[in-house]
A and B are shown apart, each in its own frame.
Chain A
Amino acid sequence: MRVLVLVKYVPEITSDRVMDSGRLVRDPAVGLMNELDEHAVEAALQLVEALPDEDARESSQIIALTVAPSTGDMAIKKAYQMGAERGIRVTDDAFAGLDYHGTAAVLAAAVRRLGSDDEGPIDVVLCGLTALDGLGSVIPAMLAEELGWPQLTHSRAVALGADGRSLNTTRETEESVEELTAPLPAVVSVTDAANEPRMPNFKRIMAARTKAVEEWSAADVEPFLEDFAPRVSVVDAAVHPPRVAGDVVVDRGEGGTVLANYLIEKGLV
Chain B
Amino acid sequence: MTQPTILLALPSAHARVDEVRNSSLELITLARSLGRVDVVTMGAPSTEVLALLGLYDVEAVHQAALPTAVPEEQQRVTSNLAAVMVAAARKVHADVLLLPNGFAFKEIGAVAALRLKAGLVTDAAGVRWDAPGVLHVAKRVFGGTWDTVAEVRTDPAVVTVQANTVVAEPVGVGVGGVGVGAGGAGIPRVEALLVDLPPCAVTVKSREVSRKDEGRPDLEEASVVVAGGRGVNGDFGPVEELADVLGGAVGATRDAVFEGWFDRYIGQTGVTVAPAVYVAAGISGMPHHVSGITGSGQILAVNNDSDAPIFEMSDFGVVGDLAAVLPQAAETIRAWRAGREG
Q: Which of A177, A232, A250 contacts B152 (CB 8 A)?
A: A232
B200, closest chain A residue (CB)? A150
As a 0/1 sequence over residues 29 to 49 of chain A, the CB contacts with chain B under 8 angstroms (1 = contact) are: 000000010000000000000
Task: Specify which of B11, B120, B325 is in contact with A259 (CB 8 Å cutoff).
Answer: B325
Tell me whether B68 is interfacial, beta carbon within 8 Å: no
Q: Which of A132, A180, A247 contacts B316 (CB 8 A)?
A: A247
Describe A's contact surface by its main secondary structure.
mixed
Task: For B205, give the chain A residue with the smallest CB separation.
Answer: A179
Q: Which of A176, A256, A266 contacts B325 (CB 8 A)?
A: A256
Q: Least Cβ distance of B248 to chain A in Å?
A: 10
> Chain B residues near A236 (CB, 8 Å)?
147-149
Interface residues of B in 174-205 (CB under 8 A from A): 200-205
Once the chains bind, are B316 and A246 in contact (CB under 8 Å)?
A: yes
By a CB distance below 8 angstroms, the chain B residues around A263 are: 246, 277, 300, 329, 333
Interface residue A257 (Cβ < 8 Å from any Cβ of B): yes
A263 vs B294: C-alpha distance when bound (angstroms): 19
Alpha-carbon distance A141/B109, docked complex (angstroms): 10
Q: Given A176-B210, A191-B269, do A262 and B312 touch, yes or no (CB 8 Å)?
A: no
Using CB atoms, name the residue of chain A closest to B82.
A145
Contact A13 B103 (CB under 8 A): no
A268 sits at the interface (CB 8 A): yes
How far is B111's CA from A180's CA once the two chains are assembled, in angstroms?
18
Assess whether B341 is interfacial by the CB under 8 Å rule.
no
Give the Cβ gap from A92 to chain B, nearest Cβ, in Å. 22
| Residue from B11, B103, B114, B143 within 8 A of A154 (CB atoms) | B103
Most chain B CB atoms below 10 A, which of A36, A255, A269 = A255
**Is A162 interfacial (CB 8 A cutoff)?**
no
Closest A residue, CB atoms, query B335:
A260
> Which residues of chain B (59-108) have a CB below 8 Å from chain A?
73, 76, 78-79, 102-104, 106-107
Q: Is the CB of B205 within 8 A of A180?
A: yes
Cross-chain contact of B311 among A152, A186, A248, A260 (Cβ < 8 A) = A248
Q: Which residue, of A130, A248, A250, has the highest number of chain B Cβ atoms within 10 A? A: A248
Q: Interface stretch among A72-80, A97-105, A115-123, A210-218?
A: A97-105
**By the criterion CB–CB under 8 Å, are B103 and A137 in contact?**
yes
A256 x B327 contact (CB < 8 A): yes
In Å, the complex CA distance between A132 and B145 comes to: 14
Assuming the contacts A174-B271, A176-B207, A232-B121, asked whether A183 and B201 have C-beta atoms less than 8 A apart, the reply is yes
| Pairwise interchain contact A246-B277, C-beta atoms closer than 8 A | no
> Is the pair A174, B336 in contact by a Cβ cutoff of 8 Å?
no
A50 close to B (CB within 8 Å): no
Is A52 part of the contact surface with B, judged by Cβ < 8 Å?
no
Q: With both chains docked as a complex, state the minimum distance between the C-beta of A37 and any C-beta of chain B, in angstroms.
A: 13
Q: Are B154 and A231 in contact, with the CB atoms below 8 A?
A: yes
Size range of the interface on A?
35 or more
Tell me, yes or no, whether A94 is within 8 Å of chain B by CB. Answer: no
Tell me if B328 and A256 are in contact (CB < 8 A): yes
Q: Which of B297-316 contact A (CB under 8 A)?
A: 298-300, 302, 306, 311-316
Q: List, in ascending order, chain A residues with CB within 8 A of B119's CB.
A: 99, 101, 231-232
CA A32 to CA B118, docked complex, whole Å: 32
Q: Is there an interface contact between B318 and A145, defined as CB atoms closer than 8 Å? A: no
Contact of A240 with B by CB under 8 A = yes
CA–CA, A194 and B90, complex, Å: 38
Please name the residue on chain B nearest to A257 by beta carbon: B332
Instruction: Give residues 198-218 of B contacting A (CB, 8 Å).
Output: 200-210
B165 interfacial by beta-carbon distance below 8 Å: no
A96 in the interface, Cβ–Cβ < 8 Å? no
Stretch from A14-22, A54-62, A197-205 at the B interface: A14-22
Q: How far apart are the CA atoms of A212 and B113 in the complex, in Å?
A: 37
Chain A residues with CB under 8 Å of B120's CB are: 99-101, 138, 231-232
Residues of B within 8 A of A129 (CB): 103, 269
Q: How far is the CA of A261 from the CA of B332 in the complex (A)?
A: 8
- Give chain A interface residues in 226-269, CB to chain B under 8 Å: 231-240, 242-243, 245-251, 254-264, 266, 268-269
Chain B contacts for A180, CB-based, 8 A: 202-205
Task: Return the 6 tightest CB-CB contacts between A and B, nearest first.
Answer: A256-B328, A251-B320, A231-B119, A260-B332, A236-B149, A248-B317
Supplied contacts A231-B119, A233-B151, 4 more A-B pairs, CB within 8 Å: A146-B114, A153-B107, A234-B150, A256-B330
8 interchain pairs, CB-CB under 8 A: A36-B269, A104-B114, A130-B269, A180-B204, A234-B151, A237-B148, A263-B333, A269-B337
